[in-house]
Amino acid sequence: MRDDLVTTLSPLLAAEARAEAAASGAEPADLEQAVWLRLLEHLDADGPPADPHTWLRRAVRSESRRSRRTARHERPYEREPAADTERHDPEGLALAAARRRALRDAVPRLPGRCPRLLEALLSPDDPTYREIAGELGISQGSLGPERSRCLECLRRLLTPEVAARSARG
């Protein structure tokens, strides 16, 4: 049943995700991945939707709205003052080293695939998403959502350890 549903809905989902992605500021592959996850959750909880095509269109629009809301509420981190990051005096170097150490120490404590994913992203070899996906054995389209979840876990983990300078989203 699931295979038939996936085969039937894949072209529609790809088209709907491409149509909604530009307005939401999300990548089409990220919207597709989120909707597939919602469909799996729906199948596990309630079985297949009565009208899969209508359900899929609504799910894409819902994920698009969620993505817009998230983008609207998130604010980029403020750039660290130059005094902390670009100083070459002992204090600036020590602060930068402490930040890097805190990040490296926190990564192995993350759940699931997050440690391997973030290690790959932080690698000095600078691998491509395709290389990382191949190494982790996951699809390239799911790297973005997986990375977002891992970074959120990392933020929650580091929040008590690193004092926030200002509000952030």
| pTM for this prediction | 0.47
pLDDT in tens, 10-19: 999 999 999 9
Q: Is 43 helix (H, G, I), strand (E, B) or coil?
A: helix
The dihedral through the CA atoms of 109, 122, 98, 162 has a sign that is negative
Domains of the chain: 2-73 (no CATH), 88-158 (1.10.10.10)
In this model, does residue 150 exceed pLDDT 70?
A: yes
Question: Measuring CA to CA, which residue among 6, 82, 72 is closest to residue 37?
Answer: 6
Question: Going by C-beta distance under 8 Å and a sequence separation of 6 or more, which residues neighbour residue 95?
Answer: 84
pLDDT in tens, 56-95: 999 999 999 988 888 777 766 665 554 444 567 888 888 8
